[in-house]
Amino acid sequence: MFRTKTLIIMTALMVSFLIPTVAFAESDTLTFGTAVVTDDQAVNDSLVVSMAGVTPLGEGSAYNAVLVSSDGTKSLDLGELSVIQPVLQGVLQATGNVNFVYDSTSEGYDGEDLLTTYSRIKLTIGPGGSTAYSDNVPVNAAVYISSVMADLNSIDAHLAAAIASAFSAQSSSDIDEVKAQIGAAVADASTISDLANGLGANATAAAAEDTEDSNLAEGAAGVIASAANISTWINAAKATADDDITPQTNAAVANIFASKIFNELSAARNGWDGNTDGSISSSTGEGGVAQARASAQQMATLTLEAKDLGENEASTVPGESGGSVLGLGLPSVGERIIRDLMLLSGLLGIAMVGIGSVILSRNRT
């Protein structure tokens, strides 16, 4: 009887040790830095890689950065990355930092919108070598982010034309000309508002693809807040045009309202420093298209880990054959916690069979 109780206690202790081990294995992920798309000469045409704790390769060898599409059909070689080893108190450190920028000064640059083509990145040991570091944006999230970017580009184009018309209306001394220019400025107001209203849905859907990714969540919140601002400002411009300029007969007075519309359209495109702190954030009352785009770029942040890329992935978003943000795809395997729980179940099964055999043997004797 004593031995049976002892075996049961040992089994309980084993379970208590294994479960924390599984939980630790799931959360103990070492990251080395990020790769983020930014704007240089065009939209989403630049990439910034920032890393720390990177082990330098031997002399004559270097890491090479490559963007890959989610389905693996396209890739872009960004070039070599230098590892800078700091010297502390006269001692050269074993690991170093990477500060790499791919932009209009880089070889092979052609102004391509990286977020519409790629959603995967890998840092290889030399060109074509094995992968040392990598990450990916979940393929469906990449599709939604690409949709956000496409809508923002469309809004931007509409606003550029609208702002040009409003600018002309501010200085015209002909009331009919003022009305004509303002009419052109707000002609696409409903289209812009509809596009802005759709940004939130795509941003929310993208964030839902990985609820543990803080960059997806924070970026989505910025897109949603900025989208609401865009809609508010464009609707305000349309209301000013209808209520204050259409019935106006005095050009000088109409110019004043035209300036108000110009400011509202400009805010929708460039944002507005609502709290006068010297910066414009992707927040309520401040963010416009420019800030929404920065937030969408944040959603596509790649967090570099010492791992190989997963298998190529195709989108399951209805109506999409596949998409990519930076060419990164989903991992090819399921959640690690499921794997660990399966391992734990197997170990417990073996333990229980062993304990049952001992108990049965003792009862027979």
Angle at 125 between CA 124 and CA 131, to 5 degrees: 40
Instruction: Count CB-CB contacts under 10 A for residue 121.
Output: 28
Burial of 102 (0-12, 13-18, 19+ CB in 10 A): buried
63 phi/psi in degrees, rounded to 5: -75, 150
Structure tokens at 232: 């508010």
- Extended beta strands in the chain, E state: 31-38, 46-54, 63-68, 75-81, 87-88, 91-92, 96-102, 120-125, 131-136, 302-305
* Type and span of the H or E element at 200: helix 189-208
Structure tokens at 152: 């923002």
Taking CA atoms, 90 is separated from 85, 87, 94, 95, in Å, by: 12, 6, 13, 15
* Cα–Cα nearest to 267, from 196, 217, 218, 203: 196
How confident is the model at residue 7, as a pLDDT? 47
Taking CA atoms, 271 is separated from 16, 173, 201, 233, 289, in Å, by: 54, 29, 21, 10, 7
Taking CA atoms, 267 is separated from 157, 184, 273, in Å, by: 14, 18, 9
How confident is the model at residue 324, as a pLDDT? 45
Q: Which amino acid is at 165?
A: S
- Between β-strands 46-54 and 96-102, what pairing exists: parallel, antiparallel or unpaired? antiparallel
User: What is the Cα–Cα distance from 148 to 207, expressed in whole angstroms?
Assistant: 12
User: What is the Cα–Cα distance from 291 to 271, expressed in whole angstroms?
Assistant: 7
Q: Are the beta carbons of 118 and 134 closer than 8 angstroms? A: no
Q: Are the beta carbons of 213 and 186 closer than 8 angstroms? A: no
Burial of 252 (0-12, 13-18, 19+ CB in 10 A): exposed
How confident is the model at residue 323, as a pLDDT? 44
Tell me the β-bridge partners of 130.
none
Convert 7-32 to b/e letters by CB count within 10 Å (16 or more is b).
beeeeeeeeeebeeeeeeeeeeeeeb
How confident is the model at residue 317, as a pLDDT? 84
pLDDT tens, per residue, the chain with 365 residues? 445 555 444 544 454 444 444 444 444 568 899 999 999 999 999 999 999 999 999 888 999 999 999 999 999 999 999 999 999 999 999 999 999 999 999 999 999 999 989 999 999 999 989 999 999 999 999 999 999 999 999 999 999 999 999 999 999 999 999 999 999 999 999 999 999 999 999 999 999 999 999 999 999 999 999 999 999 999 999 999 999 999 999 999 999 999 999 999 999 999 999 999 999 999 999 999 999 999 999 999 999 999 998 888 888 887 654 444 454 433 333 444 444 445 555 555 555 545 555 454 555 55
How confident is the model at residue 15, as a pLDDT? 45
Q: Are the beta carbons of 139 and 326 closer than 8 angstroms? A: no
Chain-centre distance for alpha carbon 168: 37
Q: Are the beta carbons of 217 and 287 closer than 8 angstroms? A: no
- Between β-strands 63-68 and 46-54, what pairing exists: parallel, antiparallel or unpaired? unpaired
